[in-house]
Chains A and B, each alone.
Chain A
Amino acid sequence: MNTPNASRAPRTINEYLEQLRAALRGADPALVQDALYDAEEHLRAELADQPGRSEAEMLQKVVGSYGAPEEVAELYRDQEITIQRALRPPPPPKRRSLAGRFFGVAADPRTYGALFYMLLSLATGIFYFTWAVTGLSLSAGLSVLIIGLPFIVLFFGSVRALSLLEGRIVEAMLGMRMPRRSVYPEQGSTLMRRIGRMFTDVHTWTTLCYLWLMLPLGITYFTLAVTLLGVSLAFIAAPLALLFDRTAWGWLLADHLTVDWGFGPHVPSWGDALALCMIGIVLLFATLHLARALGRMHGHIAKHMLVPRAAS
């Protein structure tokens, strides 16, 4: 392969990964993380397989079998297009008219994913927040004891696992491509240095921030979803309430019910009920729009806070 970058053959695993990262520049950070993980796993296994060989010799052979960084990058890009196609539901037909665009949101599967995510985020938010705060305070408290350090390392490991889990949820419900593998554990340095890296790594802290942030966000999402859905469904059911009011069961409900649209109070009629129903329908679709927009926004938040930047 006479690719422009092939002039400098990689001599160490880190050099190979650096070249792969460079070749993948501009690709989705989640894809970069997966590709680097796979390459590192393969190269380290190759190195461990034949202990007699030097790293440079091994890499020379690997460029032939695993592929040169540029070839691997190309392969992952191709693969990504296939994944994207499989991941994305067929795009809803483009609607031209204003009404079509407004009501078309109900046909978009992403809307319901986002709505479900909003409801779920209260539970996950409470869990993440509790985990992060408990872990951090216990880490701080135990740090004076001998078990402090192992505890901190365990806690940070669990934060990585949670970050991966949240990534899966976000990808499934919000359709944002997230990594399927965590960052490959650093090799070839002392244990203390690796622990030190954990603390200085910005990504660790943005992940913790995200876990913490999920409580207020989760409460907000849940409240918005439940309130708006509840109000719009109640409005839509207004004619039904009036029907009961007119029948023999009416005495069960409030007798002296009056409405006031600003023109003075009067006993509710069918016109009032229908108007309320219309408002309810519009509100319901507006809620769906809001859910889809919030879902998209949250996907970007998750991507920025949970996936390390490719350039770092």
Chain B
Amino acid sequence: MDDVASQLKKFQKELAAGTVSLVLLAVLAQSRQPLYGYQIAKRLEELGDGVLAGKQSALYPVLRNLEGAGLLSSEVEPSVSGPPRRYYRITKPGRDVLRAWVAAWTATRDTVDQVLQGEL
């Protein structure tokens, strides 16, 4: 039983390696205004445990890497009530990359679904 749990954890980690970047990019592409990390975390939390596997700390390093790759840009703004916040928005190259990623994701998902439903 413990073995199943640890295998699940490992699989979730491997899955998250790509999907978290895709989801973050998509969330920021759909948003009209720039978002900060905590906001994104809350939005994803409403959807359930699917992407982050319940660990919102996974979000921040990925945001930073996406920014490092030039797909996002960010700026710090002092907020009226509370701590300063770092707002992220998607860049033009980010949108181009997202389009390519969505195509790759759709193809992967369709194939995986077909195999899982035994249509091989």
Interface residues of A (CB under 8 A from B): 34, 38-42, 44-49, 64-67, 71-72, 75-76, 78-79, 82-83, 86, 180-181, 185, 187
Known contacts A76-B61, A78-B13; A66/B82 CB under 8 A:
no
Is B85 in contact with A45, judged by CB distance below 8 angstroms?
A: yes
Known contacts A44-B83, A46-B38; A65/B64 CB under 8 A:
no
B36 within 8 A of A: yes
Grouping DSSP codes into helix (H, G, I), strand (E, B) and loop, the B interface class, with mixed when no group exceeds half, is helix
Size of B's binding interface in residues, CB under 8 A: 26
Chain B's nearest CB lies how many Å from the CB of A298?
A: 22
Grouping DSSP codes into helix (H, G, I), strand (E, B) and loop, the A interface class, with mixed when no group exceeds half, is helix
Is B83 in contact with A66, judged by CB distance below 8 angstroms?
A: no
Which residues of A are found within 8 Å of B61, using beta-carbon distances?
34, 38, 75-76, 79, 83
Q: Inter-chain contact count A-B, CB under 8 Å?
A: 73
Is A71 in contact with B83, judged by CB distance below 8 angstroms?
A: no
**A45 to B84 CA separation, bound complex (whole angstroms):** 9
Which residues of A are found within 8 Å of B82, using beta-carbon distances?
44-45, 47-48
Sample 17 A-B pairs with CB under 8 A, ordered by A number. Answer: A34-B61, A38-B61, A39-B57, A41-B36, A41-B60, A42-B60, A44-B83, A45-B83, A65-B41, A66-B56, A67-B55, A67-B56, A67-B57, A71-B57, A75-B61, A76-B61, A180-B64
Is B54 in contact with A42, judged by CB distance below 8 angstroms?
A: no
Known contacts A38-B61, A180-B64; A45/B55 CB under 8 A:
no
Known contacts A44-B83, A45-B82, A45-B85; A38/B57 CB under 8 A:
yes
B65 within 8 A of A: yes
Which residues of A are found within 8 Å of B86, using beta-carbon distances?
41
B37 within 8 A of A: yes
**A41 to B82 CA separation, bound complex (whole angstroms):** 10
